[in-house]
Amino acid sequence: MRLLPILALAAAAAGCQPRFASVAPVTPRLEPSPVSIERVTLRYSNLYLLRQGTTVALVDAGSPSDVPAATEALAAAGLRPSDVRLVVLTHGHGDHAGMGRFFQRAGAKMVVGRGDELQTTVGRNDEMHSTGPFATLARPLLRIDYEPFTPDVIVEDVLDLASLGLRGAVVRRMAGHTRGSVVVVVGGEAFVGDQMLGGVWGGIFHADEPGEHYYQLDPARTHCNVQALLDAGIERFYLGHGGPVTRDRVLEWRRSWPETPCAVSFSLR
């Protein structure tokens, strides 16, 4: 049984139109987010549109086959691919970096964490360490190669996106899922890519329930990354698959982890 077609059919059955939609919290914030946030669910992953004034940015860049859907979603938002000023990749796997070269050609700067340029410059996933037997069986079927590209900006540790037109947004390298995984922090919210998974079957079911992603280079370090985000006061987590998930749900998931000494920390202030 081939799992990739099954996943694709399940994603189609989820009934997602290629259109960006608001993912604002149900309860209003005391302090409005400095950046507007919209999401479109593509064939295998989420793509996030961030806007502030005239600056248009994306978090992640889907799969190579997502170009028509992404273009249609941007058009529905009154935008063209050439309007996108920068794209931050949470990591270099093909379901998140697949349209990187497409947007780079259109004029966007590609932002990648140090270590994951090893993937983007060859257009191929890393070794993808499985976190369970299902993931081990599925791994050969989930390889998504893509057109390689050289990042315009490499994040060594922390990058303030004010320099690229998004005030109040910061990129932090938080290796764990991959060598160069990054998290985008905007106020009390964080785009964490595949540091965790929302629900099952790529987020199709129980999307607001956080859990272990199928693949992690270093699961203990990934847990420490999530703990650091909790300690820093993050209230809402935007995921690469499924989500968003709330702080309370992540704290519930946290209780199931093995105890691991962590040295990862940062402040939102």
For the cut 60, the answer to whether the pLDDT of residue 10 exceeds it is no
Q: Summarize pLDDT for 134-148 with one digit per residue, the tens.
A: 778 877 777 899 999
Is 236 within 8 Å of 189 (Cβ atoms)? yes
130 vs 185, more confident: 185
Opening angle at CA 61, ends 127 and 239, nearest 5: 75
Spatial neighbors of 39 by CB under 8 A, at least 6 apart, are 20, 21, 23, 46, 47, 48, 49, 238
Segment among 65-74, 109-118, 122-131 with least mean pLDDT: 122-131
Segment among 110-114, 210-214, 264-268 with least mean pLDDT: 264-268
Segment among 11-15, 42-46, 177-181 with least mean pLDDT: 11-15
Structural domains of the chain, ranges and CATH numbers in brackets: 3-254 (3.60.15.10)
**Quick one: average pLDDT of 32-46?**
91
- pLDDT at residue number 128: 82
Q: Which tokens in the block code for residue 182?
A: 């990054």
**Quick one: average pLDDT of 38-45?**
94
Residue 269's pLDDT band, with cuts at 50, 70 and 90, is: low
**What number of CA atoms fall less than 13 Å from residue 256's CA on the CB side?**
7
For the cut 80, the answer to whether the pLDDT of residue 31 exceeds it is no
pTM, entire model: 0.90
Q: Summarize pLDDT for 197-247 with one digit per residue, the tens.
A: 998 877 778 889 999 999 999 999 999 999 999 999 999 999 999 999 999
